[in-house]
Chains A and B, each alone.
Chain A
Amino acid sequence: MALGKSAAVVIGSFPLGESDRVVTFFSRQHGKVRGVARAARRIKSKFGGALELLTLGELIFFDTGRSDLVRVDHFDVLRPFDRVREDLERLGQAAWMAECVGRLTAERDPNVAVYGLLLRGLKSLEAGVPPQRVAVVFGVRLVDALGHRLRVDACVGCGRRDAFGGAPLTMDVEAGGLVCAACASAVPGLLRLQSGSVAALRRLRGQAWDEAVGTQLGGAEGELRQLLDRQVALLIGQPTRTSRFVREMERFSGERG
């Protein structure tokens, strides 16, 4: 039994019983933590609006040791990130970032790099950087930080380094990187990427955060977002729910003019 304390971001929650809430946090000190916030759905809850998605706060929890779930004692808002939630496109991409962190990390496995990325992503969204660009810059760094970097220097099938002549290139996410035309022909349904997108991916890996979010990605943005979606889906065994949300919002809005 122990008391824990850390700065943390709310990355998910669902209602429990009459008026409680199970909240998932990504914390600086403890990584992903899930806990029960008692009476959080009551109108006069002591938590107020603090447990809303994407809020950064100071989390104080009590670990009973009897369950995976801790008891959330306090969560005092440090930064609400409400401007991220007030725009549907920002909210959609931010929720995707939160879902990726939640699904790709294990509980109680501290990772300060991932925590830092999440905060930088939210700050950039709040500052008005185009949401999809933030998601791409974030996603590329997240998979790297978690050890899932895709190889783009040589064919992951045969190892040849000089095999990427003309565009477009072929990415075999499952095999872990680019494949040459000969190796690609053996596997159906691989993702095609313009050489510009692969160049953008290389560049993003080497850039500082502010430089990366400050640079337009052009056509590479959509392709890299798609690549990240595929890679995350493969890692968690199914497509993210937030991607479905983002897609449906786009489709429905388009349809209505």
Chain B
Amino acid sequence: MAHYPEPVARLIEALQRLPGIGPKTAQRLTFFLLKRPAEEVRELSEALVAVKDRIVYCQTCFNVTDEDPCRICRDPGRDARLICVVEEPNDLLAMERTGEFRGRYHVLLGALSPLDGIGPEDLKVRELLARLDAGAGTAEVILATNPNVEGEATALYLAKLLRPLGVKVTRIARGLPVGGDLEYADQVTLSKALEGRREIS
């Protein structure tokens, strides 16, 4: 890429590090931005910096938030005895869109993945155990990880880990098609999956 002026090469390089963006897309985006008004580009760059400066992970549930603890963890109207475990903040949002769930969440920030070498230590598993150990009187942990190999393995693992603690562990229904991402599930499908959750034994 030596033939590009340095700032152009630098932006292409930076964009390429984003997931799902290859060299060609990075080039296209860069030249698109070059054609836009300066004001619009400044707005984008400020938004990028702001998200990093102002957004943190809630130290209780690990959702993304601009205040810690997050709104859901602070809301006294939500049932603290119910914890819904999801992989990513996007899955939490999908769950919230159903309007069915009135408990709290725990975001793992990933899923177990043998081929990526991702084990329990790389996820917020320890933090989940600490929450349960803290004795907030958790009545049920709902495992809402994705219906794919990684999500099922994570659910299997957590069920095994949590059962000795005497807490009821349920898995959202298998009605969700295998292989899809939870965040793409429509609200009705997700509501039904939540409603049809079953205890894992």
Contacts and interface: CB of A to CB of B under 8 A. Distances in A.
A85 B179 contact: no
Contacts of A66: none
A47 interface: yes
A19 interface: yes
Interface in A225-248: 241-242, 244-248
Contacts of A249: 112, 119-120, 157
A252 B120 contact: yes
Interface stretch (A87-95, A141-149, A161-169, A175-183): A87-95
A41 B119 contact: no
B178 interface: yes
Contacts of A257: 164
B16 to A, nearest CB: 14
A48 B115 contact: no
Size bracket, chain A contacts: 35 or more
B43 interface: no
Nearest to A245: B114
A93 to B, nearest CB: 9
Given A85-B149, A86-B152, A91-B149, A41 B115 contact: no
Contacts of A15: 19-20
B153 interface: yes
Nearest to A242: B114
A85 B115 contact: no
Contact of B153 (A44, A91, A99, A244): A91
A242 B20 contact: no
Given A12-B115, A19-B184, A43-B186, A48 B121 contact: no
A18 interface: yes
A17 interface: yes
B41 interface: no
Nearest to B129: A256
Contacts of A138: none
Interface stretch (A49-57, A187-195, A200-208): A49-57
Interface string B113-148: 111111111000100010000000000000000011
Contacts of B148: 49, 52
B196 interface: no
B31 to A, nearest CB: 19
Contact of B121 (A12, A88, A248): A248
Contacts of B189: 43
A86 B120 CA distance: 17
Interface of B: 19-20, 112-121, 125, 129, 147-149, 152-153, 156-157, 160-161, 164, 176-181, 184-186, 189
6 contacts: A48-B179, A52-B179, A91-B114, A95-B115, A242-B115, A248-B120
Interface of A: 12, 15-19, 40-45, 47-54, 85-88, 91-92, 95-96, 98-99, 241-242, 244-249, 252-253, 256-257
